[in-house]
Amino acid sequence: MFPANFGYVAARSVDEALELLAQHGEDAKLLAGGHSLIPAMKLRLASPRTLIDLGTVQGLRGVRVDGDALAIGALTVHADIAASDLVRQRIPALAAAAGVIGDVQVRNRGTIGGSCAHADPAADFPVVLTALNASFAVVSPSGKRTISVDDFFVDFYTTALGQNEILTEIRVPLPPSDAGTAYHKLANPASGYVVVSSGALVRRDGSGKSIDARVALGGLGGKPFRAAGTETALRGKSLTLESIVDASAKAAEGSDPDDDIYASADYKRHIATVLTQRALAQASGFKVETSHPQNQR
Amino acid sequence: MNAERVAISLTINNVRHDAAVEPRELLVYFLRDRLGLTGTHVGCDTSQCGACTIHLNGRAVKSCTILAVQANGAEITTIEGLAHGDELHPVQEGFRQKHGLQCGYCTPGMIMSSVYLLKNNPNPTAEEIKHALDGNLCRCTGYVNIVESVKWAAKRMRGGQKAEGGDVSR
Amino acid sequence: MTTQHAPAGLIGASVLRVEDPVLATGRGCYVDDVQLPGAVYLALSRSPYPHAKITSINTEAARKMPGVELVLTGADIDINVPSPVMIPGQKIPPHPALARGAVHAVGAPVAAVVAQTRAQAVDAANAIEVEYDPLPAVVNGENAVEPGAPIAREELDTNICYRAVNKGGDVDKAFAEADHIVKMHIASPRQVAMAIEPRAAAAKPEPNGDLTVWLSTQSPHRVRADLATALKFPEHRIRVIAPDVGGGFGSKGPLYREYTLASYCALKLRRPVKWTATRSDDFLTVIQGRDQAMTSELALKRDGTMLGLKVRVVANLGAYLCSNTAGPPQRMMAMAPGCYQIRNVFVEVLAVFTNTVSTGPYRGAGRPESVLNIERLVDKAARDLGIDRLEIRRKNFIRPEQFPYKTATGVEYDSGEYERALDEAIKLSDYDRLIRERDAARKRGELAGVGVSTFVEPSGGAGFESGTVRVERTGEITVLTGSSSHGQGHETMFAQVVADKMRVGMEHVAIRHGDTMAVQQGVGTFGSRSAVMGGGALALAIEKVSDKARRIAAHLMEASLEDIVPADGGFAVAGVPEKRATWRQIAGAAYGRLPKGMDPGLQETVFFDPKREAWGFGAHVALVKIDRDTGETKIEKLVLVDDCGVIINPMIVEGQIHGGVAQGLGEAFLEQMQYGEDGEVLTGTLVNYAVPHATSMPTLTLGETVTPNPFNPMGVKGVGEAGTNGAPPCIANAVMDALAPLGIDHIDMPYTAPKLWAAVQAAERGKK
């Protein structure tokens, strides 16, 4: 498997990358870790004329606290997010999602920015970032802007990023101390990609009642699906296993997943409920057991 | 189109190499075809099998999914760089002691992933080993003895496993 | 005839593998590692259609691409992959190396390009423009025999390649007398062998006009003969080398089109040509396994006595016949009664062409289908008749004193103690506790099931195997075996045999294999045959060499022949242990001054053919739990008792069982090659075809019984396929036991989570 020929430029800075992007236009693709793009190029599903490598740009890596958010450089690899004490302590769902992407080697190389820009509907980050209400810092020759997660992911492999824009940072609001987060996934046993996944952010008041919850589901469509039915059902409720089960039953309401060769739409809708139960329960402080069945991965 | 070659310089198993490569040249073929480091294998075309696993700047990665140009300036270790002369790396010895390989094709990748695991987690449980090897496929062993091999190596590297003299063991 | 060895001997010891230091350090040499100066690379343009007429091929653009040396289409060459007639009247449509006029499966090569680099070859192959006129395709074997089905091979007027029947006894009478008849339809999923090393060929024209070809093959001599036939090039001028081979599992047995093309191009260009499959190539063009659908009936008496068996098998052969494509269905037939005394059997096979990848032997090669069939029938019979599943098996087992036992299908089993293996599995699994655990889980509303399989594992066969034992001038021993290894540890296991029997250290024995120039005619490694056949040949060759050496020793020590006894490192005079002749001294004489009347040399070659197979057996037990909410299935216990006769290297045998079981669990839970209704390939990469990962494996508990093979010089039987034979039906029975309370009778593998969940949902809806 060999990609078709292409030209290669290593950018030294974001500004230079922007210039190169403007210069090469639609025929150019930005290269981060390459773990979405290179496989597509090997199968010749993608054949850009020019690759602009961001891997050589300094300053786009790492996780830091910036005000009331975690700021994650777009080139931060999954493994570093999964292993970050900061992420694990403050936003466990994000660490959990980063830790179940692909495999060890993929997590050592794939980047959060690359994954988000690629917007694979079976990817993990878009789902968890939707649940966490993240935003995306973007630069272009005309300046900077911030895109909210609900606007960023548009459809299958489509984001709100313009052709001349570069994603530089993902900002994830730090949940307040009374909040909980969790991410649960049912992976395709072949690819390891999401069949269905559920990310949850639950805020509760002093009495243990839910103030609000954000629940996002993967695998139900071209972009992360907000489980509005569940979110509404949980609002103001005491966070008990019963209320969680009731609310989770509405998880897939309004979604329209496709059958695929592995799983039916019915199964996906049902698993959305199961995983949402688990995610909400864990985010609410209940212990959730996971196992390693032989017909899963 | 014919793309211009790009000059790269990288250190592989402690030896520096300078080369001009086509941008599309994958790191695994650079290692195999140019440098003759054929211990790094290709088993799939979709980044699933892990036979091509190497260490790039100290991290286990799949060299079939990295362009050689992306490795410019990197420090790389391949399976050929693990043993000291005839003395096997403890993980290599573990695979031998515990029959962790049959056809041997996935083995270099398995070993590179295992070495990486033990660097970060010197005393892994069986479950941790299995998860650490999720990016490496083996079709011969059923993974049972691979897990045993890694456990053996972990013990050896922690100083608890004596070198075994005889050929007949277990 | 059985040889029993003291535990101190090398036979029976878990000797560490001599192969490992090389392979574990990356110094192995697989075909793609072979570096040939001046080599150019072959790439292919392949059909995207399952069935189509080719209306035009335009190679203009490709010929002008950088680095291109040669472009070929079916019009330029007349090369066909040969396939033998296995069944009288069998239809053998052409299997051209490059399509001529039509394609019959996705991936069929249409044009070949040779270029200076791998990437240039792919670029040029992609630039070949082919116009197709799609034809209706058929992908499912049972659909292919329906009236009006599309014809997969338009050269024929039928999809049936052959019909074969194997029968014995009086089946009609048995069924007429039966109290109960169990009927089932059971389909085995089509599987991909997925050897981690993709196929590869490196062909090098020699200055004298000979051809050397490195191939990733299990069977160098057989492939050489087929290559000679395909190329119309003399066999004795072809040298096939199987260097290190990265797994095969049956799939690297036959000659492949790409091997003929690389060889042809090398001869034509007078340059080395390399071809290495991508994983996608292998998904489309390596023989796949299973895909047999059985419609079966088992006739029984009320007390569980099995009277008769009727099976109709539709075996999907795919579009093209490789040399061994027609084989597995016949294996299925021959062992249809399994380990039971069923005296009245009728098995019919319809082997059919479809527009899919060719099938052929894949670890088990008809055995797993056959075991699955009978073991599912037996379990259902037990359930229907209200008889315990162990009891019904025990009642019908062939008993130890009945061996050698000729089955109704006309094969003779050598030896067996089936009940002992089952007892061992019951003991190891703490079966009663498993049943209690299952029942307790059921009380809690969980889905839990216990499964058992008991089975035979035929091994060896496929004609002869050869072995040469040569004592060199300095007393070192060179062994040439026709059984060429691809991961089974031949260099260790055979060396153990030779060193043990010739009483030398293993370091004095070199095992050579996989090179037709070095090794006499041989067959290869498949069908669990190496220890049985290759080992058998060596054991006999060792005897012959030792006989001659003993006579020379008698001469050297001036003692009478009767007084010469084997001793460490050679021979001694009985009662005078210090009086010895070493192998070096004996060899010195053999190649130098010999006693009168003896021929020079110390080398013997044996072509071993016991004219029968070796029948291993076993019993597997499992406890599974299915998550009602997700369909996820967990193996709580899996016990595998296998009997492969005398064991040469327990470590290697265990490894074979582990690997076989993993592939068996893949079949049971994950793996299935899938096609769309129009024949499009749905699972053509590892992104959508699931194989077991490390995390997929449960804890395995292994056990053994040892029933020596009376017809083998070492008492051995094969074991390579035991895991794929026994584990899937054991799991199937366990999963179905778990679902039985819901009224579910049978589901075909693989038991993916979505499939089981849907079945549970449907059953529960039905109950409401």
pLDDT digits (tens, 9 = 90+) for C229-264: 999 999 999 999 999 999 999 999 999 999 999 999
A99–chain B Cβ distance below 8 A for any pair: no
Q: Is the pLDDT of residue B168 over 80?
A: no
Residue A130: which residues within 8 A CB-CB, separation 6 or more? Answer: A149, A150, A153, A199, A214, A216, A224, A226
C57: exposed, middle or buried (Cβ count in 10 Å: 0-12, 13-18, 19+): buried
Contacting A with CB below 8 Å, chain C residues are 118-119, 122-123, 126, 278, 280, 627, 629-635, 665, 668-670, 674, 682-683, 686-691, 693, 695-698, 750-754, 756-758, 761
Task: Tell me the C-alpha distance between C518 and A214, whole Å.
Answer: 70
C631-655 pLDDT, tens digit each: 999 999 999 999 999 999 999 999 9
Q: Is the pLDDT of residue C135 over 70?
A: yes
B13–chain C Cβ distance below 8 A for any pair: no
Q: Is the pLDDT of residue C205 over 60?
A: yes
Which residue among C634, C683, C754 places its CB closest to the CB of A293? C634
Across B15-38, average pLDDT: 97
Bridge partners (DSSP) listed for residue A199: A183, A216
Element (H, E) at C755: helix C753-767
C78-132 pLDDT, tens digit each: 999 999 999 999 999 999 999 999 999 999 999 999 999 999 999 999 999 999 9
Write the CA distances from C483 to C64, C229, C465, integer angstroms.
45, 22, 7
Across A75-80, average pLDDT: 98
A58–chain B Cβ distance below 8 A for any pair: no
The residue to which tokens 């999923």 are assigned: C189
Q: Is the pLDDT of residue B164 over 80?
A: no
What confidence score (pLDDT) does residue A204 get? 87
Across C737-761, average pLDDT: 97
CB contact under 8 A, C21 and B24: no
Structure tokens at C498: 């030779």
Residue C77: which residues within 8 A CB-CB, separation 6 or more? Answer: C97, C98, C264
Write the CA distances from A137 to A61, A70, A145, A225, integer angstroms.
14, 12, 6, 22
Mean pLDDT of chain C: 96
pLDDT over 90 percentage in chain C = 97
C640: exposed, middle or buried (Cβ count in 10 Å: 0-12, 13-18, 19+): buried
Q: Is the pLDDT of residue C487 over 60?
A: yes
A146-203 pLDDT, tens digit each: 999 999 999 999 999 999 999 999 999 999 988 999 999 999 999 999 999 999 999 9
Find chain B residues with C-beta within 8 A of C661's C-beta.
142
Task: Tell me the C-alpha distance between C504 and C569, whole Å.
Answer: 5
Task: Tell me the C-alpha distance between C100 and C57, whole Å.
Answer: 11
What confidence score (pLDDT) does residue C1 get? 29
| Model confidence band, residue A209 (pLDDT cutoffs 50, 70, 90) | confident
Whether the pTM exceeds 0.90: the reply is yes
Give me the phi and psi of C11, to 5 degrees please: -75, 120
Which subunits count as partners of chain C given 3+ CB pairs below 8 Å?
A: A, B
CB contact under 8 A, B3 and A7: yes
Give me the phi and psi of C539, to 5 degrees please: -60, -40
Q: Who has greater pLDDT, C596 or C731?
A: C731
Structure tokens at C492: 């260790």
Task: Tell me the C-alpha distance between C263 and C112, whole Å.
Answer: 12
Q: Is the pLDDT of residue C318 over 80?
A: yes
A238-265 pLDDT, tens digit each: 999 999 999 999 999 999 999 999 999 9
Q: Who has greater pLDDT, C325 or C595?
A: C325
CB contact under 8 A, A106 and B62: yes
CB contact under 8 A, A104 and B60: yes
Give me the phi and psi of C132, to 5 degrees please: -120, 150
Which residue among A5, A44, A262 places its CB closest to the CB of C754? A262
CB contact under 8 A, C24 and B36: no
Chain C closest-CA separation from residue B79 CA (Å): 6
CB contact under 8 A, B3 and A6: yes
B56-108 pLDDT, tens digit each: 999 999 999 999 999 999 999 999 999 998 899 999 999 999 999 999 999 99
Task: Tell me the C-alpha distance between C382 and C254, whole Å.
Answer: 41
CB contact under 8 A, C690 and A293: no
DSSP C289: B
CB contact under 8 A, B43 and C197: yes
Element (H, E) at C373: helix C367-385
SS3 C134: strand
A105–chain C Cβ distance below 8 A for any pair: no
Q: Is the pLDDT of residue C2 over 70?
A: no
Report long-range pairs for B18-24 (Cβ below 8 Å, ≥24 apart). B19/B68, B21/B68, B21/B69, B22/A5, B22/C119, B23/A5, B23/A6, B23/A7, B23/A8, B23/A51, B23/B67, B23/B69, B24/A2, B24/A3, B24/A4, B24/A5, B24/A6, B24/A41, B24/B67, B24/C119
- Pick from C475, C527, C49: nearest CA to C289: C527
C536-575 pLDDT, tens digit each: 999 999 999 999 999 999 999 999 999 999 999 999 999 9
Angle at A196 between CA A148 and CA A80, to 5 degrees: 60
Which residue among C629, C696, C751 places its CB closest to the CB of A297? C696
Across B125-150, average pLDDT: 98
Which residue among A39, A55, A297 places its CB closest to the CB of B46? A39
Give the number of other Cβ atoms within 10 Å of residue B14's Cβ.
9
Structure tokens at C411: 């094969």
| Model confidence band, residue C3 (pLDDT cutoffs 50, 70, 90) | very low
Which residue among C13, C17, C695 places its CB closest to the CB of B99? C17
CB contact under 8 A, A294 and C665: yes
Q: Who has greater pLDDT, C680 or B166?
A: C680
What ipTM is given for this predicted complex? 0.96
| Model confidence band, residue B162 (pLDDT cutoffs 50, 70, 90) | low
DSSP string, chain A: --PPP-EEEE-SSHHHHHHHHHHHGGGEEEESS-TTHHHHHHTTS---SEEEE-TT-TT---EEEETTEEEEETT-BHHHHHH-HHHHHH-HHHHHHHHTSS-HHHHTT-BHHHHHHHT-TT-SHHHHHHHTT-EEEEEETTEEEEEEHHHHEEETTEES--TT-EEEEEEEEPPPTTEEEEEEEEE-TTT--EEEEEEEEEEE-TTSBEEEEEEEEESSSSS-EE-HHHHHHHTT-B--HHHHHHHHTTTTTT--PPP-SS--HHHHHHHHHHHHHHHHHHHTT--------TT--
Q: Is the pLDDT of residue C734 over 60?
A: yes
CB contact under 8 A, A1 and B134: no
CB contact under 8 A, A189 and C690: yes
What confidence score (pLDDT) does residue B167 get? 40
